[in-house]
Amino acid sequence: LGKKKPILQKDLDFKALILEAFDKGRLIAIIPFIAKIMESCANSRIFRPPNPWTMMVLGILAELHPMADLKLTIKFEVEVLCKNLNKELKDVKVTTVFKGREAIKEASMDWSSRNSATGLAALKTLPTIPDGRLLAAAASLSGMGAASAVQSAGLAAAAAAMGPDEPQVVLPQAPVQPQGVPLGLP
């Protein structure tokens, strides 16, 4: 397009490609591809806006842009393309290609769903009872002193409660420093 050579419809049909991507949930891959190709229209005397073919493709993309729950990356690609072509999105005549078409939003990467099983609600919560091994590792990293001894006693009880099938954790004994005695440097 930048070299004044058209992409023929028999080689690559942009409209059919976008419609097929909409139906199959592949917009996340197709829209950046189309936008990258269309960016070269900015350097072309023939294909830059208000070329009817370029405006038709922009109209299809402008129709996608305001759809609810469409991923922001797709919307961003459309906005960047309009900016590169020195065209305001509000000035582009929106087509009606997607009117009457229903998008399959479940299990599709094109749509951000707020209540779907792939959202944050589907994440499993962490157990509330910490594993004895984790507690033992935390004790070995904790500070020294009387508080450490109390923690170690609680960790030993937690490790003992793990059961016979679990490997037992040997808790390291942290040296206790008397209060008021400065640490000596080696």
Mean pLDDT by 10 residues, the chain (186 residues): 75 88 87 89 84 89 86 88 88 85 75 58 55 68 51 54 55 56 56
| The predicted structure's pLDDT at residue 65 | 87
In three-state secondary structure terms, 119 is coil
DSSP conformation class of 111: B
Q: What is the pLDDT of residues 97-127, one digit of tens each?
A: 888 887 777 777 777 765 545 444 444 555 5
Q: How many CB atoms lie within 10 A of CB 82?
A: 22
| The predicted structure's pLDDT at residue 48 | 81
| The predicted structure's pLDDT at residue 155 | 52
pTM of the predicted protein model: 0.57
Whole-number CA gyration radius for the chain = 31
